[in-house]
């Protein structure tokens, strides 16, 4: 979150996305990105067929870290 805030200060006209990955890391992290001046919303338009596979990749990455 500090990086987002610092980026906003250094680049006030930049588009800073609050990506869906932020919501995957921690459930409440994506809304907090807007508190740090993120200004672009990314939508999750992944078909349900692939969602379980993609979520398993995130879970596996969490387990490894």
Measuring CA to CA, which residue among 38, 41, 49, 48 is closest to residue 16?
Answer: 38
| 14 vs 57: which has the higher pLDDT | 14
Beta strands in the chain (DSSP E): 17-18, 40-41
Asked if 32 and 3 count as a contact pair (C-beta separation under 8 A), the reply is no
| pLDDT, tens digit, 9 for 90 and up, residues 4-51 | 889 889 999 989 888 766 766 666 777 778 777 888 887 777 777 777
Residue 62's pLDDT is: 64
Task: Specify the length of the chain in residues.
Answer: 65
Q: Which pTM value belongs to this model?
A: 0.52
Measuring CA to CA, which residue among 44, 43, 41, 40 is closest to residue 16?
Answer: 40
What is the number of other CB atoms lying within 10 angstroms of the CB of residue 15? 8
Residue 63's pLDDT is: 66
């Amino acid at each position: 979150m500090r990086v987002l805030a610092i980026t906003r200060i250094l680049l006030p006209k930049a588009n800073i996305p609050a990506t869906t990955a932020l919501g995957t890391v921690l459930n409440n992290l994506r809304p907090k990105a807007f508190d740090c001046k993120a200004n672009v919303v990314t939508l999750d338009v992944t078909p349900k067929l692939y969602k379980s596979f993609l979520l398993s990749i995130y879970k596996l990455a969490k387990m490894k870290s």
